[in-house]
């Protein structure tokens, strides 16, 4: 399909702005732009059709099943959107006087209380704009804490080999050296390897629990105890919180700081990649280091040893409105989210495990991982091929080639908002694809066939980078 | 009470039994008992949709919506054309994830490719990335892009918004880079001080200025660029995107990187977020760019398509060696910016920038007549600082009339902002109230 620039005709356009009602005055000539700007010249009708055509070439949660592992693609309730669009929130200037934004600050304070109760933590900062930003924030809190105690020689962050890629990348941004901890044969943290790497240089451990293969670490209490004994702090990557919300509180199992993804666990939409919101919750001894301004009794105040600011203002406020709306709806029944999420994942796992190799065949949490390697070795049909084949069934593929500890991984997270029928249909699709792998492997390798474009050449895109339209 | 779980209790039990579990306790026995929450969480009872609607509306109603806004300082009250909301709220855009599966994500990918092109165009740079969290974090990431083995000191102008500086400082606490602030003099960067500082520091990596700066002044960016480049450092410009409808672009000035807050491009004030960080640069810096990049390619039939590309920079591939940890960005806000710029087109882009400038100059002249003088003599676009006998008193009087006045800054001066939404009558009203107050 054409780019919007290719639909542009000189002289066309839309009249948005009125004539100037004051004398036209610009900065002096030598300050002015000389080059022309190429922007589309297009009528509202043509523009509307362009974006409608683009929308038809996109796949959202409302278009069909979206079991993208680690991303928690649950339903995004409509009421959330309605509330976030209220002018009483959407039209607030961030630098309005505090007494004119009491409702907004009350909402933030209430949401903080809810999230503290859910995580067991003492405080929350809403500064981070996304999950990875929350990780970075949490690690800076850990760093500030150690430095404040004169313990600045702690330079290492331990990260399991199954961790999200953001964990080591965040550690680097926080100035830490990443030390990789091996997983054991059960897919959870290898305690001996952990012990071998703990020491006076340990600043902390980053852990997702359940981890990225969907398993709850049975040794979690011992893991956090060992890290604390070595003088480190424990960071909980809350990307997988949906599995245990209302059932396990990260603070109760020894974690000191956590980020949550409001755009995963708390039902706010992903918007094709963002905006998210990654609030970071912490125990009280980390509160003095929290970033950003917080409204207390009508005054904006900053924590005494604050690390600074992660974003310009108060974080992604309208995303917070959506998450707050969600929590008001669910209330104390949040545990039902985890229950149905875990049930749906186990149901799918159980119904597929006779044919697809499950990476760690045990009760999973909110997601499970197929390791397609044995099938790939026999048939040369890869995880990528299976993912592409699912597209022709109207199903968004699972996360693939992650976690790295499983070869040819397909990571499936159905979420709690899917019905049994949807799961059954997906199971049927997976089973049909399995038959095709052995009976007509090329049909899987050539998939998809029904999408607006066929398989795209990633290598060409990277080798001959073409990142913009040339006029 | 409220729930979005479709399965009934009976269905759940049936599913549990079918896969060999008695009940949910049985399913969750993989979690050690000592790790589990005892009893109920202290959260309110869930509510029906109508109850939720009422409760959240009540909070929204406690806030004051100003009918007329003369405050900017990083968040700008520009008009959002109707098409922006109508199009961006399409559920396919709103509820999709990052476009990992290109074949069914062409709509998202193409919209971002178009956005990247538009950002490169308005800033006069070669290429742009797919978005950052906000302007301030984009600035911090841009500073990091310039660091190499021998060059690590970050220089920033003292005339930038303190919020941007704070984020740069916070990121630098992590990365252990030294940040040096070049003092502002008469509302602009002290060029001599910059020259002296850079000359003394072989480890200088970059200098970041704001354009127009926090005080609204359009500084001599070319001079600062020359000083920076002569010292072998990279020149970063933090720009108000709509100002580029009339002002010389970072590309024309010679900047290495342009960043800024994309909120003026079709996003509301939103109490500070979500906003949109943008970042554009020269072709040669492509592999240092943080965040997502969308590139053009072809499918197996040879048809054009778009994919996430040059991912070898990114966290999911390079892990601790990644150029940034950014994963989720602000794609939907970038979509809005793309729709906004398509709506206003090249003519509207110049028009809105002209309106902003004209209104601000009119207001400055009117305030001058009643003794509120420009605090700095530099050129300005849509923000400017005036003296004020009592900013708090004036703002209280304006607030009583539903007007959000300028921001009180240092020395009791006021930072004013005009946009295309401030009519002559609105401006005259502010001046009349000011005259009355003093």
Residue-wise pLDDT tens digits, B362-374: 999 999 999 999 9
Which of A86, A330, A365 is the closest to B3 by Cβ? A330
Question: Which residues on B lie below 8 Å from A14 (Cβ)?
Answer: 81, 83, 343-345, 348
Binned at pLDDT 50, 70 and 90, residue B410 comes out as confident
Contact across the interface for A310 and B117, Cβ inside 8 Å? no
Residue-wise pLDDT tens digits, B110-169: 999 999 999 999 999 999 999 999 999 999 999 999 999 999 999 999 999 999 999 999
Which of B100, B166, B274 is the closest to A308 by Cβ? B166
CATH of domain B68-79+345-437: 3.90.1150.10
Angle at A178 between CA A216 and CA B320, to 5 degrees: 100
From CA A162, how far away is CA A345, in angstroms rounded?
Answer: 19
- Nearest residue on chain A to B17, alpha-carbon basis: A347
A425/B contact by beta carbon, under 8 A: no
Out of 3.40.640.10, 3.30.70.890, 3.10.20.30, 3.90.1280.10, select the CATH number for domain A80-332.
3.40.640.10
Q: Do A427 and A414 form a contact (C-beta atoms < 8 A)?
A: no
Residue-wise pLDDT tens digits, B329-380: 999 999 999 999 999 999 999 999 999 999 999 999 999 999 999 999 999 9
Could you please state the CATH topology (level 3) that the domain comprising B82-339 is classified under: 3.40.640
Residue-wise pLDDT tens digits, A216-232: 999 999 999 999 999 99
CATH of domain A334-445: 3.90.1150.10
Domain ranges of chain A: 4-57, 80-332, 334-445
Residue-wise pLDDT tens digits, A330-373: 999 999 999 999 999 999 999 999 999 999 999 999 999 999 99
Residue with tokens 């599966």: B101
Which of B105, B166, B311 is the closest to A58 by Cβ? B105
Is the pTM here over 0.95, yes or no?
yes
A322/B contact by beta carbon, under 8 A: no
For A317, list phi and psi in degrees, rounded to 5. Answer: -55, -45
Q: How far is CA A317 from the centre of its chain?
A: 17
- In Å, how far is A374's CA from the nearest CA of chain B? 24
Average pLDDT over residues A445-453: 96
- Nearest residue on chain A to B282, alpha-carbon basis: A467
Residue-wise pLDDT tens digits, B292-314: 999 999 999 999 999 999 988 88
Q: Over pLDDT 70: what percentage of chain A?
A: 100
Q: For residue B320, what pLDDT is reported?
A: 83
Domain ranges of chain B: 9-61, 68-79+345-437, 82-339
Residue A430 scores a pLDDT above 80: yes
- In Å, how far is B239's CA from the nearest CA of chain A? 13
Q: For residue B315, what pLDDT is reported?
A: 81
Residue-wise pLDDT tens digits, A129-150: 999 999 999 999 999 999 999 9
Residue-wise pLDDT tens digits, A178-213: 999 999 999 999 999 999 999 999 999 999 999 999
Q: How far is CA B53 from the centre of its chain?
A: 29
Residue-wise pLDDT tens digits, A99-124: 999 999 999 999 999 999 999 999 99
Residue-wise pLDDT tens digits, B31-42: 999 999 999 999
- Nearest residue on chain B to A141, alpha-carbon basis: B174
Residue B71 scores a pLDDT above 80: yes
- Interface confidence, given as ipTM, is 0.98
Residue A310 scores a pLDDT above 80: yes
3-state secondary structure chain A: CCCHHHHCCCCCCCCCCCCCCCCCCCCCHHHECCCCCCCCCCCHHHHHHHHHHHHHCCCCHHHCCCCECCCCCCCCCHHHHHHHCCHHHHCCCCCCCHHHCHHHHHHHHHHHHHHHHHHCCCEEECCCCCHHHHHHHHHHHHHHHHHHCCCCCCCEEEEECCCCCHHHHHHHHCCCEEEEECECCCCCECHHHHHHHCCCCEEEEEECCCCCCCCCCCCHHHHHHHHHHCCCEEEEEECCHHHCCCCECHHHHCCCEEEECCCCCCCCCCCCCCCCCCCEEECHHHHHHCCCEEEECCEEEECCCCCCCCCCCCCCHHHHHHHHHHHHHHHHHHHHHHHHHHHHHHHHHHHHCCCCCECCCCCCCCCEEEECHHHHHHHCCCHHHHHHHHHCCCCCCCEECCCCCCCCEEEECCCCCCCHHHHHHHHHHHHHHHHHHHHCHHHHHCCCCCCCCCCECHHHHHHCCCCCCCC
From CA A96, how far away is CA A75, in angstroms rounded?
Answer: 34
Average pLDDT over residues B384-394: 97
Contact across the interface for B56 and A218, Cβ inside 8 Å? no
Binned at pLDDT 50, 70 and 90, residue B1 comes out as low
């Amino acid at each position: 399909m054409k780019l919007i620039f290719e639909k542009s005709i000189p002289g066309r356009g839309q009249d948005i702005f009125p004539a100037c009602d004051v004398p036209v005055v610009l900065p002096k000539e030598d300050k002015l732009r000389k080059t022309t700007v190429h922007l589309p010249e297009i009528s509202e009708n043509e523009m509307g059709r362009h974006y409608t055509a683009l929308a038809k070439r996109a796949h959202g949660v409302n278009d069909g099943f979206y079991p993208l592992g680690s991303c928690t693609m649950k339903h995004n309730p409509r009421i959330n959107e309605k509330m976030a669009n209220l002018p009483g929130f959407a039209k607030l200037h961030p630098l309005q006087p505090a007494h004119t934004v009491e409702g907004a600050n009350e909402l933030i304070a209430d949401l903080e209380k809810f999230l503290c109760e859910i995580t067991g933590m003492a405080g929350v900062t809403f500064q981070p704009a996304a999950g990875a930003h929350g990780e970075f924030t949490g690690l800076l809190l850990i760093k500030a804490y150690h430095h404040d105690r004169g313990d600045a020689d702690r330079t290492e962050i331990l990260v399991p080999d199954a961790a999200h890629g953001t964990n080591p990348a965040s550690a680097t941004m926080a100035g830490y050296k990443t030390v990789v901890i091996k997983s054991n044969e059960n897919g959870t943290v290898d305690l001996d390897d952990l012990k071998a790497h703990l020491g006076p240089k340990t600043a902390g451990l980053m852990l997702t629990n359940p981890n990225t293969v969907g398993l709850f670490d049975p040794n979690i209490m011992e893991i956090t105890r060992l890290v604390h004994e070595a003088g480190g702090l424990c960071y909980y990557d809350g990307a997988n919180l949906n599995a245990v919300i209302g059932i396990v509180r990260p603070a109760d199992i020894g974690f000191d700081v956590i980020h949550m993804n409001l755009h995963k666990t708390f039902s706010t939409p992903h918007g094709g990649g963002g905006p998210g919101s990654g609030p970071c919750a912490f125990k009280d001894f980390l509160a003095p280091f929290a970033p950003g301004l917080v409204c207390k009794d009508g005054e904006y105040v900053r924590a005494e040893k604050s690390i600074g600011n992660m974003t310009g203002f108060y974080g992604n406020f309208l995303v917070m409105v959506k998450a707050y709306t969600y929590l008001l709806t669910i209330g104390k029944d949040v545990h039902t989210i985890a229950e149905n999420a875990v049930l749906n994942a186990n149901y799918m796992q159980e119904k597929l495990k006779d044919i697809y190799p499950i990476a760690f065949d045990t009760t999973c949490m909110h997601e499970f991982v197929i390791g397609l390697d044995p099938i790939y070795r026999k048939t040369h049909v890869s995880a990528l091929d299976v993912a592409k084949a699912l597209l022709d069934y109207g199903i968004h593929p699972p996360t693939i080639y992650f976690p790295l500890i499983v070869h040819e991984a397909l990571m499936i997270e159905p979420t709690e908002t899917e019905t049994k029928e949807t799961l059954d249909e997906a199971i049927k699709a997976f089973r049909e694809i399995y038959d095709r792998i052995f009976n007509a492997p090329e049909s899987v390798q050539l998939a998809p066939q029904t999408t607006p474009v066929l398989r795209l050449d990633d290598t060409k895109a990277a080798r001959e980078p073409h990142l913009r339209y040339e006029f | 009470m409220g729930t979005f779980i479709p399965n009934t209790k009976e269905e759940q039990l049936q599913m549990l039994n079918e896969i060999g579990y008695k009940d949910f306790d049985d399913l969750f026995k993989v979690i050690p008992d000592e790790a589990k929450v005892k009893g109920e969480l202290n959260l309110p009872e869930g509510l029906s949709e109508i109850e939720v609607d009422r409760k959240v509306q009540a909070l929204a109603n406690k806030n004051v919506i100003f009918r007329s806004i003369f405050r900017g300082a990083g968040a700008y009250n520009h008009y959002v054309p109707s098409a922006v909301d109508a199009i961006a709220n399409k559920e396919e855009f709103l509820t999709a994830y990052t476009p990992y599966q290109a074949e069914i994500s062409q709509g998202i990918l193409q919209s971002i490719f178009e956005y990247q092109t538009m950002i490169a165009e308005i800033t006069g740079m070669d290429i742009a990335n797919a978005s950052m969290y906000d302007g301030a974090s984009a600035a911090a990431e841009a500073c990091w892009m310039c660091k190499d083995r021998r060059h690590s000191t970050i220089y920033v102008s003292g005339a930038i918004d303190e919020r941007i500086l704070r984020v740069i400082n916070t990121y630098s606490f992590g990365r252990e880079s030294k940040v040096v602030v070049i003092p502002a003099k008469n509302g602009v960067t002290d060029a001599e001080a910059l020259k002296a500082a850079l000359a003394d520091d072989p480890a200088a990596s970059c200098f970041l200025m704001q354009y127009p700066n926090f005080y609204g002044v359009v500084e001599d960016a070319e001079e600062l660029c020359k000083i920076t480049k002569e010292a072998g450092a990279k020149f970063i410009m933090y720009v108000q995107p709509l100002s580029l409808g009339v002002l010389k672009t970072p590309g024309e000035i010679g900047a290495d990187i342009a960043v800024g807050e994309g909120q003026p491009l079709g996003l509301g004030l939103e109490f500070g977020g979500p906003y949109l960080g943008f970042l554009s640069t020269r072709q040669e810096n492509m592999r240092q760019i943080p965040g997502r990049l969308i590139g053009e390619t072809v499918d197996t039939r040879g048809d054009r398509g778009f994919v996430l590309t040059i991912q070898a920079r990114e966290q999911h591939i390079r892990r601790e060696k990644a150029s940034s940890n950014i994963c989720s960005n602000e794609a939907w806000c970038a979509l809005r910016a793309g729709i906004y710029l398509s709506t206003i087109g090249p003519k509207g882009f110049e028009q809105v920038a002209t309106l902003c400038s004209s209104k601000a100059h009119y207001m400055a002249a009117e305030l001058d007549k009643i003794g509120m003088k420009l605090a700095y003599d530099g050129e300005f676009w849509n923000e400017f600082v005036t003296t004020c006998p009592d900013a708090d008193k004036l703002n209280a009087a304006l607030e009583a009339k539903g007007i959000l006045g300028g921001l009180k800054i240092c020395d009791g001066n006021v930072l004013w902002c005009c946009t295309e939404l401030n009519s002559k009558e609105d401006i005259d009203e502010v001046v009349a109230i000011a005259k009355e107050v003093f």
